[in-house]
Structure 1
């Protein structure tokens, strides 16, 4: 008998078996002038992506959103708090990435998840850089109205730029 079992106890948590087929063919081995049988088994699988959506993409999105909370903190009085939130978010994401990386196969090419994580890291860095820039301008040029306006602008620019960047990357991955 050939084939695979469709019984309920046969399952793969990360995959859905769509189809399976097997064939037996004969091949001639000319050096020995003999015929050998070859058994070929093929599985057509589909990855269940919900795990990655709920256990990787969503938590990392929340950590990224947390790093932007610094734009709602008054830059005049809370630079230390802003830096603490930014650095804690970054370190949390790095730790999270190490945990996730241990559960994923090591691949030599960039996946959608890799691109998503990389863009999140870029935005962690940019949010810390934005806070440092605002603090520098506030301390050296003493223009609280200008820096307050920058913080309000960052509240909208960062989420919009993040959505745009992630959208472009996801489109590129899905079209390729």
Structure 2
């Protein structure tokens, strides 16, 4: 009888223990279901396209790699399992496996590569860890600032988030080791990649709070292209407009055609520059340069108008004329000496003064343009290469 009671007690204890173990196992599974899935993201930049200033966007070709733990896919204890990982290539099987609904917040256009097959990798580890990688080409928007263009620096980023699952369902994290992988030979047209910065964010919408990731690329524009295509041609156009100062004040066809041609050429060049930029309301560095070149060319044309008027204007009262400094008299020094002699015949027009003004402008215009360059280039280069 005693032995029977002992056996019955042990049986009850065993049943209670099994019930508690089953209940704890069920609670563990329920906790795993209720906890947010931690998704770890890494990006490999296969290529970095050029920035489109007119549309304020840029393109990148990336390998987007996501990994998470799914306990339902644990096959470490499966009978006969002798492999540590499995790669699934069948699209039908891939579609049955849960994947995070990741999307890019600032994407304009996207494409998954499908040559020669879908560039998608789905790998399962025996412990239930899932690696989901795909190759995509993205066109992303970038809010650019053109105040110092073409001496500007741009900050363009990639924003990743879940579209439908709030942060209590999916939480995104960057991979601790190398979240952004860059190839050694990465090149960007017209830009230098200075650095990048990754961060984890939470986006707040009326539909809930969503976990997300952000990476910012810090870029600095290269100046070689714009120096060759914009600055050197405009400098030559401005210098050509100064040739009119060496022509005779009465050489109307030559001086007018030279001034109008240089002005129209500069206007056409400025129009081509504006087409490659968005119509922003503030003044850019290139606008300051083109505006100064316009002033120099238009000033040379106005100077000819005044000089031609002086050369043909008759002197009505020779006693009221002012004396021209000998440094600007040039070849008219003898005529100036005759004008100072009371017995000599005074000049009938202001031709001598017109030529003196031309000689003055030969120094004044290049000197003013040189002074502008000495201010313009250091100011904007310091802004571009400063550590801020």
Q: Is the 8 A contact 1:83 1:128 kept in 2?
A: yes
Please say which of residues 38-47 and 87-96 is displaced more in the overlay: 38-47
Which structure has the highest helix share of the two?
A: 1
Alignment of 1:148 onto 2:355: yes
The answer for the alignment partner of 1:70 in structure 2 is 244
Work out which of the residue numbers 150, 153, 160 in structure 1 matches 2:367: 160
1-side partners of 2:181 and 2:254: how far apart? 58
Q: How does 1:95-174 map to 2 (within 5 A)?
A: 95-141=268-314, 142-170=349-377, 173=380
SS at match of 2:313: helix
The answer for the alignment partner of 1:84 in structure 2 is 257
2-side partners of 1:22 and 1:135: how far apart? 66
Structure 2 vs 1, CA of residues 42 and 67 (structure 1 numbering), >3 Å: closer, same or farther? same
The Cα shift of 1:123 comes to 1.2
Q: Is the 8 A contact 1:24 1:40 kept in 2?
A: yes
SS at match of 1:21: strand
2-side partners of 1:92 and 1:108: how far apart? 24
Q: Is the 8 A contact 1:119 1:166 kept in 2?
A: no
Q: How does 1:31-50 map to 2 (within 5 A)?
A: 36-50=210-224
- Write the deviation string for residues 107-139 of structure 1: whole angstroms up to 9, x where unpaired: 322121110111111111111111010100111
- Write the deviation string for residues 38-81 of structure 1: whole angstroms up to 9, x where unpaired: 111111111111111111111011101111110011123x1121
Structure 2 vs 1, CA of residues 110 and 4 (structure 1 numbering), >3 Å: closer, same or farther? farther
2-side partners of 1:60 and 1:28: how far apart? 48
Give the alignment's Cα RMSD to 1 decimal: 2.5
TM-score by length of 2: 0.41
The Cα shift of 1:19 comes to 1.1
Structure 2 vs 1, CA of residues 50 and 107 (structure 1 numbering), >3 Å: closer, same or farther? farther
2-side partners of 1:94 and 1:88: how far apart? 10
TM-score by length of 1: 0.85
Which structure has the highest strand share of the two?
A: 2
1-side partners of 2:262 and 2:206: how far apart? 65
2-side partners of 1:68 and 1:28: how far apart? 59
SS at match of 2:249: coil
1-side partners of 2:306 and 2:206: how far apart? 74
Q: Is the 8 A contact 1:24 1:39 kept in 2?
A: yes
The answer for the alignment partner of 1:18 in structure 2 is 194
2-side partners of 1:171 and 1:118: how far apart? 18
The Cα shift of 1:12 comes to 1.9
The answer for the alignment partner of 1:93 in structure 2 is 266
- Tell me which structure has the larger Cα radius of gyration: 2
Q: Is the 8 A contact 1:22 1:42 kept in 2?
A: yes
SS at match of 2:370: helix
2-side partners of 1:67 and 1:43: how far apart? 43
